[in-house]
Amino acid sequence: MEKKKLILPHGIPGHNLGEIEREVPASEPPAWPVNDKLKEVGKSVKRYDALAKVTGQAKYTADIQLPGMLYAKFFRSDTPHANIRSIDISKAEDYPGVYGIHLMKTDDGNYPVVKYAGQPLGGVAASSLAIAEEAIKLIEVDYEYLDFVVDVEEAQHPEAPIVHKEKIASQTDGGDVGVTHDGTQANGNVVGPSTGSFFGGPRGDLEQGFKEADVIVEHVYRTQVHTHLPLETHGVVVDWKPGNMVVYASSQNTAAMRDELADYFDISKGEVRVISEYTGGGFGAKHSAGVYGPMAATLSKKTGRPVWLMLDRKEEHISMGNRPNSIQYLKIGAKKDGKLTAIQQRSHGTAGVGLGAGVGRIAQVLYECPNFATEQYDVYTHAGPGAAWRAPGNVQGAYGVEQAIDEIADKLGINPLAYRDVIDKSDIRKVERQRGAEKFGWSRRKAPGSDSGPVKKGMGMAQSTWPRFVTLDSTAEVRIMRGGAVEIRSSVQDIGTGTKTVLGQVVAEEFGIPTEDVSVLIGDTYFPTGPGSGGSVATGSITPPARNAAYKVKMELLEQIAAKWESDLSNLVMEEGKIVDKTDDSKSVSFKDALKGMRTSQIIATASRSDDYGGFQQPWGLAHGDLGSVQFAEVTVDTETGFVKVDKIVAAHSCGRPLNPAQVESQINGGVIQGLAYALYEYRVMDKQTGFMINANVDQYKLPYAMEIPEIESIIIEDYSGTSSTDAYGIGEPANIATAVAIANAVYNAIGVRIYEIPITPDKILKALNKI
């Protein structure tokens, strides 16, 4: 492959900005300068879909209406563990308005074993949702009831009821990307351990490391199960005609859903089209077709009519994923100078009937430490399955690690902010700490518990890391047309993060035209395959192909213009809606007029994600570097009632080149609010006697509302690494990881006592202060 050399911006403006030379494929576009020298990229351009969303014009999956459409509802188990002897659907079939019923079976034709309350057993399609619900009440099931366990600690006992008696196939551990178990059960319901081998595994000698330590912190930290609550629940509308299945979906990954449905029904991918124009939020659990996709498709095929199947809020809580809980034993040693000598971590958590209850890689990679080991165990329980949830595993892991680091700083008599300078070698986080502390007013922080009176103020901070992951199977198509239209197409979806807008900005920047002149057509698998939206992957994966495809189109158009003008191609530039010859002012044409003079009706080019410039730096995946983040929290604690109010959050973040600062800030705000909810409110409550979730709603499942949302200030730091044609990455994960533990550290600073378990509810505060 022919190569060329590029000189790209490298470093942090105002800190260490310089340049770096990279050898790249000859087809790559020229290097962009830093944002303040660009016209469209790096600017807070209004969202493409802002007007449609605020006026109600945007059509989400639940809004889709098709001729002859039926409404489907799941028939679910009303017991947490049982064998099914029989299911009688005769009365439901005869109910007026019912058009189709499908019961779920195993590969060998038997009814599935019920393993959690609310497990789907079948579906009913009817002329209305009310009729489907009434028909479900007529279905009779003969159960053989079995013992169950829903508590993570009770499930570890040798005599506990076994969740999976069959051998479990090897699965990916959702506690961190790519970590796997061997697929066998180590001890009853306990599976593992995962030892972090995907990220380098254990290192050094723990015993020797702790011998060398002058101070040691050793505690158990607990985090709760935290369910998914996107505004739009999971669901699809499926219209399956012979040779053509059209699926309207609330999806984080249209291409993956297409592939999954094609595989499930053993049909070609070309027969399945997935459309997701608008998605009302997705935090990791909407990457697949789940059980609702195949169910709606099966009912559509059976009835010959389109089928609408959207889950209700209770179903969303029970069966569509959650952040697993954790019980983390953590032991960390350090020398008098602050250098860490050893980190030992052991965790148990439950993702219900699924896997994925690890505590991530924070302890392994955030700080320099020569001796490290982790053991992360999954514990099966009779509860709904976990799912990826915005930085899976790392949010739980950070809650332990960042409290322990603060406690070591306390023991050493070092300010916790200054202590990070000793043990953290990340340059970007150092800048984030400096700029964040100044904005936050960290110098106001007092000694723990030193405020007089019952109402006390506290300040805390915490930080995190997340890799700059990319997906190479990410393709964009750009086309320009004689009529003046400029389009970019990809199956990548916009789940509310603004992907559509940044794609328009990237193409507009390359053509030298306003962003609003670019049509962005995404969220449809008829377009080239785009990446999923998760793991902060989408921006870094799809914006380089978007720019590269636009560059190809641009060069073909410029070649035509150069031939007409008899100009040197290298002298032509596109800027401010025109094409000009830099050496001859008389040679100028508007962009739209240039399109009218094209030889063909359109120019089209596609491009896929190329390898990072300089190669991928991590041995375990398509990633490099670090999306650093530092969160500062200020709280007020009433020591008489135990009530905690978060007053202010300052969030300092980097995501490479920020393409649209307003959208980055929006992502940070969302991550902060979710982190606050995790710290103080959200908590799945399971009834040990019945096996049911008893707060599967938005009343008793507590969420922060407007009055609980603090002042949030974002600091967005440009951090150029010279790794792609846009040098841009996502921000979804880092904004969430450190918030809860920053709040916990602030609570400690307020009351002088640590809270080792979240959510930090009033009763925990009062117990810690020995008031109850």
pLDDT the model gives residue 617: 62
What is the DSSP-derived secondary structure letter of residue 222? E
Token pair, residue 597, equals 């003079």
Say what percent of the chain tops pLDDT 90.
Answer: 93
pLDDT classification of 183: cutoffs 50, 70, 90? very low
> In the predicted model, what is the mean pLDDT of residues 9-35?
97
- Indicate if the alpha-carbon torsion angle 44, 45, 49, 55 is positive or negative: positive
pLDDT classification of 622: cutoffs 50, 70, 90? low
Say what percent of the chain tops pLDDT 70.
Answer: 96
pLDDT the model gives residue 176: 33
Average pLDDT, the chain: 95
Strand-strand pairing, 340-349 and 372-379: parallel
Collect all residues with Cβ–Cβ distance below 8 Å to 35 and sequence separation of at least 6.
41, 42, 43, 657, 658, 718
Question: Which of 237, 381, 229 is closest to 314 using CA atoms?
Answer: 229
Q: Is the pLDDT of residue 180 over 70?
A: no
* pLDDT, tens only, 717-739: 999 999 999 999 999 999 899 99
pLDDT the model gives residue 615: 83
Q: Is the pLDDT of residue 184 over 50?
A: no
Annotate 6-38 with b (16+ C-beta within 10 A) or e (fewer).
bebbbbbeeeeeeebebebeeebbebbeebeee
Q: Is the pLDDT of residue 351 over 50?
A: yes
Q: Is the pLDDT of residue 189 over 80?
A: yes
Residue with tokens 């199947």: 309
Annotate 139-156 with b (16+ C-beta within 10 A) or e (fewer).
bebebeebebbbbbeebb
Q: Is the pLDDT of residue 745 over 70?
A: yes
pLDDT classification of 623: cutoffs 50, 70, 90? low
Structural domains of the chain sorted by starting position, each given as residue range(s) with its CATH number in brackets: 44-56+471-608 (3.30.365.10), 64-148+234-310 (3.30.365.10), 162-228+322-402 (3.30.365.10), 426-470+619-768 (3.30.365.10)
* pLDDT, tens only, 584-615: 989 999 999 999 999 999 999 999 999 999 88
pLDDT the model gives residue 620: 44
Distance CA 558, CA 523 (A): 30
What angle, rounded to 10 degrees, do the helices at 416-423 and 394-412 form?
110
pLDDT the model gives residue 167: 53
* pLDDT, tens only, 507-534: 999 999 999 999 999 999 999 999 999 9
Distance CA 265, CA 260 (A): 9
